[in-house]
Amino acid sequence: MKLILLGLGNPGNKYLHTRHNVGHWFVDYFANLNSSKFEKKADFLVSHFIYSQVNIFLLKSTLFMNQNGVGLLNFLKSMNPACDKFLVVHDEINLPQGRVKLSSGKSDGGHNGVKNVINEIGYSPIRMRIGIDSVNSSFVSRSDFVLDNFTSSEKENHISLFPKLVHGLHLLCDRGLSIATNYINRYPIPCPS
């Protein structure tokens, strides 16, 4: 089996700690957990490791958010054999912090990175949508909100979710999408047993 995860985000230190980069954070965390480094391949940084006989590829685009899908179709076609599961991990302004939704076949929901991915590959993939809350001030635009840095408490809350999300991906590999969805979509997500 082959699983590919694309973490959405913007490249460079300027955007490293922003809400929009939670997809990058997660794939970095997952790679570090498996002592796997990222290497440059075409338009992506790619990390690869094996979990329970599943080849897992983690991707981060080297382009900006609105172009995160550029080159993706070619990358997916280059996989031989083809990947069994393709999943996009990204921030979700329409979910409160602490909520995560695993879903497939949904619209882009106004997320420009997701929109670009769908346009590039021609379908809506499985998505892990990590809630970042919504703009709670009329003085802050949506784009300024997602490009602002997390507060330290927001950052800690997200990092505490990551082991649970990794467990959810292990469930996806071992037991399938339905079981993984039932686990990840709970609130609060239970600690792995």
Residue 106 maps to a domain: yes
User: Distance between CA 32 and CA 146 in Å, rounded?
Assistant: 25
Residue 13 maps to a domain: yes
User: Distance between CA 76 and CA 54 in Å, rounded?
Assistant: 16
Phi and psi dihedrals of 158, rounded to 5? -70, -45
DSSP one-letter code for 105? S
Residue 193 maps to a domain: no
Residue 50 lies in domain: 2-184
Identify the band that residue 20 occupies on the pLDDT scale cut at 50, 70 and 90: very high
- Total Cβ atoms within 10 A of residue 82: 11
Task: Collapse the DSSP code of 16 into the 3-class scheme (helix H, G, I; strand E, B; otherwise coil) and give the result.
Answer: coil
Residue 192 maps to a domain: no
Q: What is the CATH number of the domain that holds 171?
A: 3.40.50.1470
Closest CA to 11 of 21, 22, 1: 21
Residue 191 maps to a domain: no
Residue 42 maps to a domain: yes
Give 86-108 pLDDT, tens digit per residue.
999 999 999 999 999 999 999 99
How would DSSP label each residue in 29-82? HHHHHTT---EEETTEEEEEEEETTEEEEEEEESS-GGGTTTTHHHHHHH-SSP
pTM of the predicted protein model: 0.95
Give 127-186 pLDDT, tens digit per residue.
999 999 877 766 678 899 999 999 999 999 999 999 999 999 999 999 999 999 999 999
Residue 127 maps to a domain: yes
User: Distance between CA 85 and CA 133 in Å, rounded?
Assistant: 28
Residue 189 maps to a domain: no
Residues carrying an active site annotation: 20
Give 38-51 pLDDT, tens digit per residue.
999 999 999 999 99
Our count of domains for the chain comes to: 1
Question: What is the β-pairing status of strands 85-92 and 126-131?
Answer: parallel
Q: In which order are the strands placed within the sheet that holds 39-41?
A: 39-41, 44-51, 54-61, 2-7, 85-92, 126-131, 100-103
